Structure 1
């Protein structure tokens, strides 16, 4: 239901913008790797960046209210969860996966919220029928809107994505598969559907390709005089010709579109995992024990003690 309403609102905004003949706000179709924190990463000053990277922004605030003893205790419990193979060590990969999980906590919260309204029979799975009825059941008999929005097409598109998210092809989605359905950009096996849906949004003539006019038209109303185009539009035209259209055939195909919207970004989680392991690995064996992590608890998590120490340091500056 929420996805459907949001899509309708977004489409409506775009249609209004076109009707008024005004430039649309530039869309960013590119899926970037989100920074782990907006704070400066300077361990010489404090470990605030590391706290938000390791815990997530909201959870880091919670730890700031704990005593050192409470902070260490909770950190120890986190270590047990990080040690996925239960071998008594946290590997670099396990550290990386934990950081990615902490950063995506808002996604899991969104899924939990939507799960309640779609697992109608309470069997811990969401079938396509359950999702379809909850999302489209009340509008399927309605005529398509004057803006050309086809509810049936939207439903067919969702069904295609749902079936792709159903990784074991058993006809229904467990919690992880439902997450992949709602947030496909977060899963490697769903990347193709992200590209296909993007191309369908932009490809107005239905030839399965994106030409220059379609590329620019997705982000700017091209009905006006080119002389009045903002500088960023001219830059985007150059980007398409020089970089997006790699084989210089005047179009972007599936591979070229994928390279555009899903670039190989810098892996922030991997870099932070390497940093945390390096700073905590006292015996330099490339992996961490619980004791090594808890001994460096101030690097991983905050507490009232560390906050108090930073407050004293700031006080001394004045």
Structure 2
């Protein structure tokens, strides 16, 4: 039986070819920290979700003020990774980024037991290969319909890049990098390489305009070309192909699929620092954070107070 991850890849290939007018987007953008409006004059709900993540922020809203404050103190100790007694802007930014990726880590946690067959706390390439491609390895004739050999070789190459110490055994952090390479700096090159290989039809190691558009759009006989196709052609010429040689190299492909977006976590870290740094020394003590707890976390009382403000009948 094929594992869900492999089935997902196969289904993506099928769906991409079955919807010729639907635009395929390979660009990886950072998600907003919260869907809520950021307006501190109304409430700190946005900051709570940015600092804790959506689900954890909702949990804090159900806590008593005392319990909320106690848990915030524990969090502050975790954020202070160098244990100097202060929370720096960088430590705050890293915490926010990790809070926003909790759903990714939860997903990896759920998959971990499926692949760590011997329960030794690591996933080897052999374990991953056997679980994911077991059916194909038992019956190579299955390769006729889908090129599982190619998929397996690509997975092994990515696995080796994620496996930083080269022992072909991944920790949870390394396995997360393998499954979600776009979120890890040391995996960017492999994401670029895989993207070029997917799109580069003539095998020259570059992406030209025809290949760029062909990856997104397959014309249907008798159907008018969508307007977005012309727009993408213009994007390629004006923005993607920076050196104007008619094709995208590795660096240009990297700028396309993994753009240097506005850093939401950094901006939020600066904001929280400015809100709680009462002595203006550029860092936060535990006392400063707890004194400004309402900026970082909610509780039953803050929810009740907001309800009083929002409903005249009270």
TM-score range, shorter chain: over 0.9
2:79/2:95 contact within 8 Å kept: yes
Structure 2, unaligned stretches of length 5 or more?
none
1:187 and 2:188 correspond: no
- Distance across 2 between alignment mates of 1:224 and 1:238: 23
1:210 and 2:198 correspond: no
Query: Residues 1-318 of structure 1 correspond to what in structure 2 (within 5 A)?
Result: 1-15=3-17, 17=18, 23-140=20-137, 141-144=139-142, 149-222=146-219, 224=221, 228-316=224-312
SS for the counterpart of 1:117 is: helix
**CA offset at residue 214 of structure 1?**
1.2
2:209/2:247 contact within 8 Å kept: yes
- Distance across 2 between alignment mates of 1:29 and 1:108: 22
Q: Which consecutive segments of 4 or more residues in structure 1 shift more than 4 A? A: 144-147
Kindly tell me the number of residue pairs found equivalent between the two proteins: 311
Change (3 A) 1:317 1:209: farther
**CA offset at residue 171 of structure 1?**
2.2
SS for the counterpart of 2:141 is: coil
Q: TM-score, normalised by structure 1?
A: 0.94
Change (3 A) 1:49 1:314: same
Larger displacement relative to structure 2 (128-137 or 239-248): 239-248
1:216/1:222 contact within 8 Å kept: no
Q: Deviations over 1:270-311 (max 9, x none)?
A: 000011011101111111111111111111011111110110
- Distance across 1 between alignment mates of 2:244 and 2:271: 42
Change (3 A) 1:186 1:272: same
Larger displacement relative to structure 2 (87-96 or 134-143): 134-143
Structure 1, unaligned stretches of length 5 or more?
none
| C-alpha RMSD of the superposition | 1.6
- Distance across 2 between alignment mates of 1:210 and 1:224: 25
1:14/1:24 contact within 8 Å kept: no
- Distance across 1 between alignment mates of 2:198 and 2:53: 33
- Distance across 1 between alignment mates of 2:64 and 2:255: 47
Change (3 A) 1:181 1:209: same
Q: TM-score, normalised by structure 2?
A: 0.95
